[in-house]
Structure 1
Amino acid sequence: MSSEQTLDEGESTADCADNETRITMEMLHAVDGEESLSQRGLAARLNIALGLTNAYLKRCVRMGLVKVRRTPSNRYAYYLTPKGFGEKSRLTANYLFRSFDFYRKARNQCDQLLGEAADSGLCRVALVGAGELAEIALLCALQHEVEVVGVADEGATANRFRHVDLVRDPTSLPAFDLILICDAKDPQGSFEKLAGQFGPDAIRAPGLLKISSPLLRDGPTGEVVDIDSLETPS
């Protein structure tokens, strides 16, 4: 097994663990907020399948986080145990910490990429992906001599994202020097589409998006180097 395969599997495992933690946290919050909530209502609240809701609920009961009692109407009510209250607080604190950690990393990486772009005279930047990462990039752009000319997102339902134009198709963007990928949903897919349309040397992306590419960027100039041309250090 290659190190790349091991890394991908490790990241996939981490993503699954994060998703499980988020669902458990949201379930505990939902149960705490409404004891009479049915499993179907809980599934709708969490936006997951009913069968998955049942599995998570049973796990919370086995862990001693949730108790179940039958109501006079022959239905079930769910409520948190003292251990459940403690776990809800712990998971929420961890989630907030990870959110702040994401913001810190995203801000640092976007700031570096946009600073390097400005230093290289690449001052007209387009963003692909409308979300939290794009908002952070817009804030970082204000710190540099960089103009964000527009944002592209194939799921866009409006024509503005904050103070810039929003389009569905990247080919509809105004003229730009550089594309910054901000798509956290499918960054690899976005990179591959954009590389086919505009070439990989026109694209930058924060490292936290974990985009795999046969090309490496060398130094602050953003020069594109083919990985096969790199010499083995002596």
Structure 2
Amino acid sequence: MKPAPTLKILYTNIMANQEEITQYNILQSIENGEQISQRQLSSQLGINVASINFALKKLTKRGFVKMLGANPRRMRYILTPKGIAEKTQIAYKFFDRNFHFYKAVRKDVEDKIGSIPFNNKKRVALYGVTDLMELAYLVIQDKELELVAIVDDEMKIRIFGYHVIGIEEINTHAPDFLLLTKELDADKMKQVPYSTIIVDIRI
């Protein structure tokens, strides 16, 4: 049996396909716009004009994009049927890679939380409104732990039915464990009750 890919390998594979993401965004923009210039593409996608020019030449050479007009400043780009099919294929591959990445990250979070010796203590708080926190929230629900608070000193929002509180308010919720999904500096750590066990579950 082949070993499961590590998070590092999966992340590297996703980032290695940054060129595909750029191509997809260009194809999408051309499909959505009746007439769009390289400068407009550069502005929309946050990519320099030289990179847009290089990508368009490559897409044109592969038959995904057709250029219309003789004046470079007034050049029009249209998506060919082959380009539409390629855009769909890139989207599918990107979704598939990210789905595997999500599964690997969730497994890592499950392992980290599963290794905590709760010893019948079920009151848990999460520190940090991050993507990792959202995964930790799902794992906590599966493990039938009691999430008593979501804490973040920068994001005072409502999420999953909880009002996000500052670290100075954590005493009122008396969690047995505080799970970190982002860094908690030393000064703020002093505000955590001595009875609360701090566990870093960051990847």
Q: TM-score, normalised by structure 2?
A: 0.68
- Give the deviation of 1:68 after TM superposition: 1.0
**Is 1:179 the equivalent of 2:175?**
no
- Give the deviation of 1:15 after TM superposition: 5.5
Larger Rg: 2
Change over 3 Å in CA distance of 1:15–1:96 after alignment to 2: closer
Counterpart secondary structure, 2:78 = strand
Q: How does 1:206-225 map to 2 (within 5 A)?
A: 209=203
Q: Distance in 1 between matches of 2:96 and 2:63?
A: 25
Alignment RMSD (CA, Å)? 3.6
**Is 1:111 the equivalent of 2:110?**
yes
Deviations for 1:53-87, whole angstroms, at most 9, x for unmatched residues? 33322332233322211289x72211223432232
Corresponding residue to 1:160 among 134, 158, 161: 158
Counterpart secondary structure, 1:202 = strand
Q: How does 1:191-230 map to 2 (within 5 A)?
A: 191=183, 194=185, 198=189, 202-205=198-201, 209=203
AA aligned to 1:141 is I
Change over 3 Å in CA distance of 1:105–1:50 after alignment to 2: same
AA aligned to 1:81 is T
Structure 2 residue runs without a partner (length 5+): 1-7, 191-196
Contact 1:149–1:164 under 8 Å retained in 2: yes
- Match in the other structure for 1:124: 124
What percentage of aligned pairs have identical amino acids? Answer: 24
Moved more, 95-104 or 117-126: 117-126
Moved more, 47-56 or 17-26: 47-56
Q: TM-score, normalised by structure 1?
A: 0.61
Contact 2:126–2:150 under 8 Å retained in 1: yes
Q: Distance in 1 between matches of 2:15 and 2:99?
A: 20
AA aligned to 2:127 is L
Moved more, 74-83 or 21-30: 74-83
Q: Distance in 1 between matches of 2:117 and 2:162?
A: 19
Contact 1:141–1:147 under 8 Å retained in 2: yes
- Match in the other structure for 1:58: 57
Q: How does 1:80-159 map to 2 (within 5 A)?
A: 80-117=79-116, 119-120=118-119, 121=121, 123-131=123-131, 133-144=132-143, 145-147=145-147, 149-152=149-152, 154=154, 156=155, 158-159=156-157
Contact 1:150–1:174 under 8 Å retained in 2: no
Change over 3 Å in CA distance of 1:202–1:88 after alignment to 2: same
AA aligned to 2:125 is V
- Give the deviation of 1:91 after TM superposition: 0.7
Structure 1 residue runs without a partner (length 5+): 1-8, 182-189, 210-234
Counterpart secondary structure, 1:89 = helix
Contact 1:127–1:148 under 8 Å retained in 2: no
Q: Distance in 2 between matches of 1:24 and 1:108?
A: 31
Q: Distance in 2 between matches of 1:11 and 1:95?
A: 12
Change over 3 Å in CA distance of 1:87–1:172 after alignment to 2: farther
Change over 3 Å in CA distance of 1:119–1:40 after alignment to 2: same
AA aligned to 2:160 is R
